Amino acid sequence: MTTFTEATWRAAAVTRWIARVAGTLVTLFFLAFLVGEGPPPLWRLSLQQNLQFLGMCGLCTGLITAWKWEGLGGVITMASYGLLLTIDRHFNATWLFAVPAVIGLIHILCWLRLHLVGSRAVSPWNTPRLVLEIGGALTGVFILLSANEIFLNPPLMTPTLHPPSNLVGFWRGHLPSGITVEVQISENAAVRGQIGQKLIDARIFNNRSWFGDLMNWREPYMIRGTGLEGGVSLQGGKLSIGVIETEQNPFRITLQQQ
């Protein structure tokens, strides 16, 4: 009969592997985001921004370290999260950064149970092979989905866009230079209009798959064609275009529906 001590020890042994796999997936997520967006120009950032980047790197370092030294890895992860909260308390409201902190705490609890609390009273027991196989499969699927979302444009599994009613219509705004931007989005996803005297002949399409929606990667739409190209999001009745290709430098602009 399995005693309470053995049951908790075995639960910790399985949970440590779950935490390792989850930590690896989180680390891959941050690395994929870094590859997709490009590394930040650290020499141009403020001290606060550099410390934020250091804290994010610490989160990943702790999660990877936990594969070998789970107690130390958990402490590094928790300390890095504490650094982020000290710099900016808005990190407390961002679940994405709370997830590695929770995983770090789990590593610490597993280390305490496996190494400090009654471990000698437990008979030898190995983590079931099925747990390792499932963890490896999940990691592989995550890597493939991340690569698909980063390198393919648009990604595979991205549905054909049938513009909703709140996206269809006439939009108007101005570049920072004062140049007028007028865009007409049709039900067939055609985009017509002009930037100043420059005509727009483009199309709008979905820019991410269900995985991108889940991870909140990329902007949900993309406009591409002659005269206008950029990621697009729609919030509060305003159309935000991430990059506008003009003869000048790229801009971000918000358009109002007319």
- C-alpha–C-alpha distance, residues 65 and 81, integer Å: 15
| Whether residue 76 sits in one domain with residue 50 | yes
**Inter-residue contact 103 to 62 (CB < 8 Å):** no
Residue 116 domain-assigned (yes or no): yes
Q: Which domain holds residue 44?
A: 4-151
Give the pLDDT score at 125. 55
| Whether residue 66 sits in one domain with residue 9 | yes
- C-alpha–C-alpha distance, residues 190 and 161, integer Å: 11
- C-alpha–C-alpha distance, residues 118 and 110, integer Å: 13
- C-alpha–C-alpha distance, residues 161 and 212, integer Å: 15
Task: Determine which helix (DSSP H) or strand (DSSP E) holds 253, and give its type and residue range.
Answer: strand 251-257
Residue 17 domain-assigned (yes or no): yes
Residue 230 domain-assigned (yes or no): yes
| Whether residue 112 sits in one domain with residue 27 | yes
Which 8-state DSSP code applies to residue 64?
H
| Whether residue 26 sits in one domain with residue 69 | yes
| Whether residue 9 sits in one domain with residue 121 | yes
**Inter-residue contact 201 to 227 (CB < 8 Å):** yes
> Nearest CA to 77 among 136, 31, 32, 24?
24
- C-alpha–C-alpha distance, residues 157 and 23, integer Å: 26
Residue 161 domain-assigned (yes or no): no
Residue 158 domain-assigned (yes or no): no
| Whether residue 143 sits in one domain with residue 18 | yes
| Whether residue 132 sits in one domain with residue 19 | yes
List, in sequence order, every residue forming a beta bridge with 254; answer none if it has no partner: 240
For residue 144, give both structure tokens: 């493939």
Give me the phi and psi of 119, to 5 degrees please: -70, -25
List, in sequence order, every residue forming a beta bridge with 241; answer none if it has no partner: 232, 253
| Whether residue 199 sits in one domain with residue 117 | no
| Whether residue 195 sits in one domain with residue 131 | no
For residue 183, give both structure tokens: 């865009």
Residue 200 domain-assigned (yes or no): yes
For residue 87, give both structure tokens: 């710099």
Residue 232 domain-assigned (yes or no): yes
| Whether residue 139 sits in one domain with residue 53 | yes
What pTM value is reported for the model?
Answer: 0.56
- C-alpha–C-alpha distance, residues 187 and 87, integer Å: 46
Report the residue count for the chain.
258
Residue 47 domain-assigned (yes or no): yes
| Whether residue 182 sits in one domain with residue 147 | no
| Whether residue 104 sits in one domain with residue 184 | no
Task: Please report, as a single letter, which amino acid is at residue 116.
Answer: L
Which residue shows structure tokens 């190494």?
A: 115
Please tell me the total count of domains within the chain.
Answer: 2
pLDDT tens sequence for the chain (258 residues): 457 677 777 777 778 888 888 888 888 777 776 665 556 666 666 777 777 778 888 888 888 888 888 888 888 888 888 888 887 766 665 677 788 888 888 888 888 887 766 555 455 556 667 766 777 787 778 777 777 777 777 788 888 888 888 888 888 888 777 788 888 888 888 989 888 888 888 888 888 888 777 766 778 888 888 888 888 888 777 888 876 655 455 667 788 887
- The domain boundary, picked from 151, 184, 207, lies at 151
- The domain boundary, picked from 120, 151, 182, lies at 151
- The domain boundary, picked from 118, 151, 184, lies at 151
